[in-house]
Amino acid sequence: MDDKTRSNETAKSEALDAHTENPDGSHLTTNHGVKVSHTDDSLKAGPRGPTLMEDFHFREKMTHFDHERIPERVVHARGSGAHGYFQPYESMEQFTRAGFLSDPSKKTPVFVRFSTVVGFRGSADTVRDVRGFATKFYTDEGIFDLVGNNMPVFFIQDGIKFPDLVHAIKPEPDNEMPQASAAHDTFWDFISLMPESAHMIMWVLSDRALPRSYRMMDGFGVHTFRWINAEGKARFIKWHWRSTLGNAALVWDETQKTAGKDPDFNRRDLWENIEMGNYPEYELCVQMIEEDQEHDFDFDILDPTKIWPESEVPLKKVGKMVLNRNPQNFFSETEQVAFHPGHVVPGIDFTNDPLLQGRLFSYIDTQLNRFGGANFNEVPINRPLADVHNNQRDGFMRQTINRGKVSYFPNSLGGGCPMTAGADAGGFEHYMEKVDGRKVRDRSEKFRDFFSQANMFWHSLADHEQDRLVSAAHFELGKVMTMEVRERMVYEFFNRIDHDLAVRVAKGIAVEPPEKDESTKSRYRAPEVSVEHESRKDTVATRKVAILADQGYDHKRLEKVKEKLMEGGASAEVVSMFLGTLKSTDGKEMEADKSHVTSASVMYDAVLVAGGKEAVRAMKSQGDAVGFVNETFRHAKTVGAIDHGVELVEEGEAKGAKYASADSDGVVADKGLVTVGQGGDIDEFADEFVKALARYRHWDRDPERKMVPA
């Protein structure tokens, strides 16, 4: 290297160094150099009061965060959308003025966007993550956006911490790794220092973070809102979406393999089922608390890290949403749809939930950044059905052609139009809540109970769900290289949730188990948090079955089972070694839908091995076919085999289980393994197979087999 080259490189390095920050030993400041005394709470009017606009530190921090990335969303970048309608079961007018909730005969158009939170647009669907569940209602009174998640709580209590949370969970900035994953040092370092995240972390480590389908996933508004009726009476409410199919989850091993075989797994499932007419349905429910009951609980009802246990505040069913149409253009609709929790209609209003208060600023700001201007509401997917008349003008992407010379209020040249509307004319009026308090950066005392609901969550899970939560912690924290962080999570976090949990987690991550029990016990139990809750439906509707077959299959007996599956609303795909036509023993033909290399057991809810001596002889020599059955069995899903198909089952994981022999005349159904011999009744077999499929998972298989690592 010559002296000139070396000199240029030195100059370049020095130029870069001049812009390189070294935060070691420094105080936190604003972008203008003012030292910050407190960055964990926004400025409020009293500990339970609303966030104040004069909080320049909050506004600067949030504005900068909202403008960090273009053009994709900073969070919820990877989404899937669908159109549909909402219809109430009965009028809610005694509780709210909202018109779309008052007429049971009226269908309100909706657009729903499901999403992962952490990953970029190109990441996989099946990562361990929170899922967004945002619904845009095109009501006669304007747009109402119910912007929620598939979990009813969140990581933080105050919106001012949102940039810190997302910076911590996103890929680490020095190397842009890992993608769409919380399993790294910066995230768990942040969490270990934020005890308010305890409850949410339990949800993220649970099966709820691995939904089988957007169609089999609940949604929650997270925050506490208000309903206000025509008389001005207000009630506190929480929003819930309940899938009519019930909840279903993948297991971790399935998610890893599915991400490789089909990273669009959830997106494809939603699209294909709508195309087939299997329209996803969700019931809208609310929990309601009277204003005079606000302080009757041992948790603060405004705390977004807490649920209202249904044993204390039951659900009320409001109506049903049906998604019945796919978008025509992904970018124009799914990508350009812009949600905002501040899009409300008369009869729905906010509370002083400090996370909601932050979102009311952040969402509008981030949409301004994404769209480059204020006219994103004129994009077709965002346009309200209600008429729009105001004095806002011009800007990027303006599509409205405004007539006349008046663009101000009050005016006389335009006849005073557009004029304001009072409540009698349908005008929105904010609820007159009394606000009185000192300006403080603080939070309600009840907000400081960080661990009791996390304890409640743990003890509300089934044993096998607890096993998988522990396994998830082993994976997540096993990827953390800093021992101090792992120890802090065990001693200062999990041990305050539940001692047994902390001991079990410690054993898997090389941390000395804690000796003293420091857990915070909860008097509540919330069985509704479990995926295995009694509300989960045993159904075969929209379940997808893989039929393993080859040349020389038994057509007649297979068709009997397929007919039974279709009666229940299930679908089936034929999987063979190669694509093409398969011929049966009696000369019938069927097409293979997928080949071994283009499919995998993890893409199906069950496997059925077709009979036929020649077909099974061929499949027994195919490692992929044997592995297909083994993997399905290990993941606790239903396995069926017809006559000689039993021999394929015998080759692997199910060895020693109960099943009929190929030449028997019986049907055996044992913990999701359903078999029939050559002389067995195929109709009886079909009934038993469908019954097993309806259960989906069979956790009661021999635990010593460790079907799913725990």
Question: What are the phi and psi torsion angles at 476 (to 5°)?
Answer: -60, -50
Say which CATH topology domain 450-529 has.
Hemocyanin, N-terminal domain (1.20.1370)
Give the β-pairing of 571-576 and 594-595.
parallel
Do residues 359 and 148 touch, judged by C-beta distance below 8 A? no
Of the residues 57, 83, 149, 150, which is catalytic? 149
Judge whether 249 and 287 are in contact, CB under 8 Å. no
pLDDT of residue 270: 98
Phi, psi (degrees; rounded to nearest 5) at 291: -60, -35
Amino acid 211: pLDDT = 97
Specify the amino acid at residue 689: F
3-state DSSP: the chain helix, strand, coil percent, rounded to 5? 35, 20, 50
Average the pLDDT over 60-72 and give the result: 76
Two tokens, residue 564:
């039974």
Residues 576 and 592: beta-carbon distance below 8 Å: yes
Which one of the listed residues 19, 27, 32, 76 is annotated catalytic?
76
Q: Would you say residue 15 has pLDDT above 80? A: no
244-283 pLDDT, tens digit per residue, is: 999 999 999 999 999 999 999 999 999 999 999 999 999 9
For residue range 414-461, what is the model confidence (pLDDT) as tens digits? 998 888 888 888 888 889 999 989 999 999 999 999 999 999 999 999
The residue written with tokens 């249904």 in the block is: 310
Cβ atoms 124, 370 nearer than 8 A = no
pLDDT value of position 705: 47
Residue type, 197: S
The pLDDT-based confidence of 2 (bands split at 50, 70, 90) is low
In this predicted structure, the answer to whether residue 164 has a pLDDT above a threshold of 80 is: yes
Q: What percent of the chain has pLDDT over 90?
A: 77
The closest of 634, 633, 615, 609 to 546, measured between CA atoms, is: 609
Domain coordinates of the chain in residue numbers? 51-372, 450-529, 544-705
Find where tokens 């496997």 sit: 607
Look up 149 and say whether it is catalytic: yes
Q: Are 249 and 211 in contact, with CB atoms under 8 Å apart?
A: yes
Does the structure show a pLDDT above 70 at 462?
Answer: yes
- The CA distance from 135 to 144, in Å, is 8
Residue listed under structure tokens 């009501």: 139
Question: What is the full DSSP assignment across 434-460?
Answer: -----EEE---GGGG--SHHHHHHHHT
Cα distances from 671 to residues 532, 636, 682, 700, in angstroms, run 16, 9, 19, 7
Active site residue 343: no
First-to-last C-alpha distance (Å) of the chain? 57
Do residues 604 and 565 touch, judged by C-beta distance below 8 A?
no
CATH number of 544-705: 3.40.50.880
Percentage above 70 pLDDT, the chain: 95
Q: What mean pLDDT is reported for the chain?
A: 92
Read off the pLDDT of each residue in 355-383 and give the average, rounded to a whole number.
Answer: 91
Residue 710 has pLDDT above 50, yes or no: no
d(CA 639, CA 547): 10
279 Cβ contact list (under 8 Å, min separation 6)? 84, 273, 322, 323, 324
Confidence tier at 702 by pLDDT (50, 70, 90): low
Q: What is the pLDDT of residue 182?
A: 97
* The CATH number, out of the four listed (3.40.50.2000, 3.30.930.10, 2.40.180.10, 3.40.140.10), of the domain defined by the range 51-372: 2.40.180.10
* Residues 501, 467: Cα–Cα separation, whole Å: 10
Residue 278 bridge partners (DSSP): none
**Residues with Cβ within 8 Å of residue 426, at least 6 apart in sequence:** 141, 346
pLDDT in tens, 472-515: 999 999 999 999 999 999 999 999 999 999 999 999 999 999 99
Overall average pLDDT of the 139-161 stretch: 97
CA 182 from chain centre, in angstroms, equals 15
Note whether 105 and 114 are within 8 A (CB).
Answer: no
